[in-house]
Amino acid sequence: QECNDKWFTNLTNGLAPKYGHIGYGREKTYKGEGTPIFYNRDTVTLLEGDTKWLSETPEVAGSKLSTAGYLRVFTYGIFKRHSDGFIFMHINTHTDTGATTSKQARMEELRIIQEFSDPYKDLMPKLLPKNIAPAKNSGIFIKRTATPIGKPVNLLIIMATPETPPD
Q: What share of the chain is helix, strand, coil (3-state, %, to 5)?
A: 20, 30, 50
Give residue-wise pLDDT tens across range 118-145.
888 777 776 666 455 555 555 545 555 4
> How far is it, in rounded angstroms, from Cα 28 to Cα 10?
22
Least confident of 36-45, 113-122, 137-146: 137-146
Least confident of 25-39, 66-80, 130-144: 130-144
- With bands split at pLDDT 50, 70 and 90, how would you rate the model's confidence at 55? very high
> How far is it, in rounded angstroms, from Cα 133 to Cα 141?
9
Average pLDDT over residues 85-92: 88
Does pLDDT of 15 surpass 80? yes
Q: What is the pTM of this model?
A: 0.78
- Residue 6, number of CB atoms within 10 A of its CB: 8
> How confident is the model at residue 67, as a pLDDT?
87
With beta carbons less than 8 A apart as the criterion, state whether 54 and 73 touch: yes
CB-count exposure of residue 36 (10 Å: 0-12, 13-18, 19+): buried
Q: Over pLDDT 90: what percentage of the chain? A: 43
Element (H, E) at 154: strand 152-158
